[in-house]
Amino acid sequence: MNFTKEELKNIFQEISTPIEPKILEILGRDIDERSKEIVNYQILTGGKRLRPILAILSCLVMGKSAEHAIAPAAGIEIIHNYSLMIDDIIDNSVLRRKKPTTWFKYGKSIAQCIAVHYSAAVPQAANLSNNPALISEIFSKAMKVSADGEILDILFEQRGREDEPYVVKNRFLNINADNYIDMIKKKAAFLFQASTEVGGISAKASEPDLKELRDYGYNLGVAFQIKDDILDIFGKEETFGKEIGKDIIERKMGNIVLLFTLKDLSPIDKVKFLRILREERRQTQDFQEVLELIQRAQSYQKAKLLGEKYILKAKESLVKLPQNKWNKVLSDIADMAMEREK
């Protein structure tokens, strides 16, 4: 039996309540009082806290109490917000969670310093876990893999950054679904996988169970990013909390909706689509023209179906894990991933 939305909201609230103080405690170490406000800003803008919640739930599903995973969960959220700060600087994004991004509020030089602070806080979170060496290794790998995914995302852009010779020389002009999955696996899904893995490690789960937790996290992460791609184009800004159509504006082909569109358009429309993404200056009507081409290719439906396939894969892993209340919560989270509007 599935939980109601209100029941899930209460469960998430209960699980996430002790995480925030732990994050602020870790971020507050080794810092002057005058800098606390700017350091805490990114975390205090909010967010779903989904990744740390997954870490706690992965510990709970294996039969251990939440307190075993609170510090690793805090570390996961610090990594996530570190990556968001860097991502916002790279993309010149001014809005996240309906609030000014850290760089837009404080300036890029200050935001870069804050990002360094976040990265240094990650091993401190691992040191508070019951397996510091292993969890620290997972955290480090997650950060490196995420950075590699970010590089791919940049190289998938079809125009822009003309002052960056490496990007201009190494752009991917022909991108397929495999390239896309490789990118989002690194940029997004691996941190989901790390979240469920550190939760399982905190519960001293067996290797077979850890594998199922990793697989669940990975497949959920892929589906989650696919839904983000859909929302980037079809979402509502007041709900999504970010500028709609940013991937089109930034000429990003690292969006499954745009990839499906390019694949299925007629030769004439394909030329038109690429011309818009690659032209030096954007025209005011470009966004609407791209939307019309997307509708013509039925890319929304195809992207949704792909995301649902990964949700099914994620839920298959739950079958092999202990069947308890927390397993059902993880299953409901998988169902929500493709239904959400933000």
Of the pLDDT bands very low, low, confident and very high (cuts 50, 70, 90), residue 235 is: confident
DSSP 8-state assignment for residue 67: G
All structural domains of the chain: 5-337 (1.10.600.10)
Per the CB < 8 A criterion, the answer to whether 63 and 77 are in contact is no
DSSP string for residues in 166-221: HHHHH--SS--HHHHHHHHIIIIIHHHHHHHHHHHHHTT--HHHHHHHHHHHHHHH
Tell me what pLDDT residue 40 has: 97
Contact 118, 78 (CB under 8 A): yes
The phi and psi torsions of 129 (rounded to 5 degrees) equal: -85, 175
Q: Measured between alpha carbons, how far is 289 from 284 in angstroms, rounded to an integer?
A: 10
**Residue 24 burial (C-beta neighbours within 10 Å; 0-12, 13-18, 19+):** middle
Half-sphere exposure for 181 (CA within 13 Å, toward CB): 11
- pLDDT given at position 295: 84
- Provide the b/e sequence for 249-286 (b: ≥16 CB within 10 Å): bbbbbbbbbbbbbbeebeeebbebbeebbeeeeeeeeb
Stretch 295-313: mean pLDDT: 92
pLDDT, residue 241, reads 60
Q: Closest Cα to residue 326, out of 40, 107, 139, 58?
A: 58
Tokens standing for residue 21:
């103080």
Q: How many Cα atoms occupy the beta-carbon half-sphere of 242 within 13 Å?
A: 22
Predicted local distance difference test score (pLDDT) of residue 243: 65
pTM of the predicted structure, to 2 decimals? 0.93
% of the chain beyond a pLDDT of 70: 96
Say whether 252 sits in a helix, a strand or coil.
Answer: strand
**How high is the pLDDT of residue 183?**
97
Distance (Å, whole) CA 3 – CA 256: 30
Predicted confidence (pLDDT) at residue 284 exceeds the cutoff of 80: no
- Taking phi first (over 0 means left), then psi (-120 to 50 degrees means alpha), and beta for anything else, what does residue 325 get? alpha
Contact, 261 vs 274, CB < 8 A?
no
Query: Could you tell me which residues come within 8 angstroms of residue 49 by beta carbon, excluding any fewer than 6 positions away?
Result: 12, 16, 19, 20, 77
User: Terminal CA-to-CA distance of the chain, rounded, Å?
Assistant: 25
Return the SS3 of 18: coil
Contact 29, 120 (CB under 8 A): no
- H-helix or E-strand spanning residue 95: strand 95-96
Q: Encode pLDDT of 139-164 as tens digits.
A: 999 999 999 999 999 999 998 899 99
**pLDDT, average across residues 256-273:** 91
pLDDT band (50, 70, 90) for residue 286: confident
Q: How many other CB atoms sit within 10 Å of the CB of residue 159?
A: 16
In the chain, what is the greatest distance between 2 CA atoms, to the nearest angstrom? Answer: 60
User: Got the DSSP string for 19-56?
Assistant: HHHHHHHHHTTT--GGGHHHHHHHHHT----HHHHHHH
| Phi and psi at residue 99, to the nearest 5° | -130, 160
Write out pLDDT tens, residues 199-223: 999 999 999 999 999 999 999 999 9
Secondary structure element (H or E) that encloses residue 89, with its range: helix 70-91
**How far is residue 75's CA from residue 4's CA, in Å, rounded to a whole number?**
29
Q: Provide the mean pLDDT of the chain.
A: 93
- DSSP code per residue over 112-161: HHHHHHHHHHHHHHHHTSSSHHHHHHHHHHHHHHHHHHHHHHHHTBSS--
Q: What is the mean predicted confidence (pLDDT) over 92-112? A: 94
* Model confidence at 336: pLDDT above 60: yes
